[in-house]
Amino acid sequence: MSAPEIHPQAVVAASAKLAAGVKVGPYAVVGEEAELGEGCVLHPHAAVGGPAKYGRNNVFYSFCSIGGDPQDYTFRGERTELIVGDGNIFREYVTVSRGTVKGGGVTRVGHENFFLAYSHVGHDDQIGSHTLFVNGATLAGHVSVDDFATIGSFSVVHQFCRVGRYAYVGACTVIVQDVLPFSRVVTERETKSFGANAIGLERKGFSKERVQTLQRAFRLLNRSKLNTSQALAEMRKQFANSPDVQELMLFIEGAERGIVK
């Protein structure tokens, strides 16, 4: 494998160690005591800190910050570490913190994990292999996530919780207790439509008559005792001359996953 390729506008600390085949893009930063294994790639503006050891073929996308100081009030600059395996992908704005002395001093990430944009791994977390962190998934400190688990978008996991193997945590879920292996967990949530966006439509130049017509159509759709098909039939009778309601009906008829009512 070829020697490391470091862009002239990248910053690599003197104590950093880069194995063969590492590529460091423009404005990327490799911090003190960061060790990058063969084939790692830093895209422009990626930041990889240390003390940390990164295995082979990890990919760090722009503006991620991996191996930074732990976000903990008690941290006073002690020497703590991050240990990362092989083949992980850290997308834009992902953050992974090193450990703390009180938590064992080491954050660990296994192999072939996929961290989507804005996901966060807190200090002293222990991440297995083949996990998926969807956009905005957030772990507090001292959390363990076992192999093949999925943490859904914008879900948060409380400190010291465990997520078992093959578990699936659905989007926007708050985890405050351990998640069993092989389980599917999601916060109950009910999303409702509250009718026409009257103020917003008026601000966009809709006349009062257009807004009132849409409000009547939405009342028929959401507040009557008619099901969706029956409501559409009635809307065709009452609002045949309204292009806005016609557009609304066409949209409903084209819904493949149902509509929010």
**Phi and psi at residue 203, in whole multiples of 5°?**
-65, -25
Which two tokens mark 58?
Answer: 């990890």
Q: How confident is the model over 95-108, as a mean pLDDT? A: 97
Q: Do domains 5-185 and 198-253 have the same CATH topology?
A: no
Q: Contact, 239 vs 213, CB < 8 A?
A: yes
Average pLDDT, the chain: 95
Q: Which residues contact 257 (CB under 8 A, 6 or more apart)?
A: none
Which residue, 247, 243, 239, is CA-closest to 219? 239
Whether residue 125 lies in the annotated active site? no
* CA 146 to the chain's CA centroid: 18
Mean pLDDT, range 141-145, rounded to an integer = 97
In the residue annotation, 123 being an active-site residue is answered as yes
Measured in degrees and rounded to the nearest 5, phi and psi for residue 76 equal: -125, 30
- Catalytic residue, candidates 122, 141, 152, 164: 141
* Active-site residue, from 43, 123, 125, 146: 123
Residue 189 has pLDDT above 80, yes or no: no
Rounded (10°) angle between helices 228-238 and 243-253: 160
Q: Which of 43, 132, 127, 53 is nearest to 93 (CA)?
A: 43
pLDDT at 179 over 80: yes
Tokens 């295995």 belong to residue: 55
Position 156 pLDDT exceeds 80: yes
More confident residue, 187 or 88: 88
Kindly tell me if the per-residue pLDDT of 170 is higher than 90: yes
Question: For the structural domain made of 5-185, what CATH number should be given?
Answer: 2.160.10.10
Domain boundaries, the chain: 5-185, 198-253
Instruction: Establish whether 141 is a catalytic residue.
Output: yes
Judged by phi (left if over 0) then psi (alpha if -120 to 50, else beta), residue 205 lies in: left
Tell me the per-residue pLDDT of 201-210, one tens digit each, with 9 for 90 and over. Answer: 999 999 999 9
What is the signed CA dihedral for 202, 208, 213, 217, rounded to 10 degrees? 40
Question: With bands split at pLDDT 50, 70 and 90, how would you rate the model's confidence at 211?
Answer: very high
Q: Any idea which fold 198-253 has? A: Udp N-acetylglucosamine O-acyltransferase; Domain 2 (1.20.1180)
Exactly one of 124, 125, 128, 142 is catalytic; name it. Answer: 124
Identify the helix (H) or strand (E) that includes residue 52: strand 52-54
With a pLDDT cut of 70, the percent of the chain lying above it is 100
Confidence of residue 193 (pLDDT cuts 50, 70, 90): confident
Taking only the tens place, the pLDDT of each residue in 10-28 is 999 999 999 999 999 999 9
Residue 1 pLDDT more than 80? no
Q: Tell me what pLDDT residue 131 has.
A: 97
Confidence of residue 51 (pLDDT cuts 50, 70, 90): very high
Q: Half-sphere exposure of 65 toward its Cβ, with a 13 Å CA cutoff?
A: 11
pLDDT band at 57 (very low <50, low <70, confident <90, very high): very high
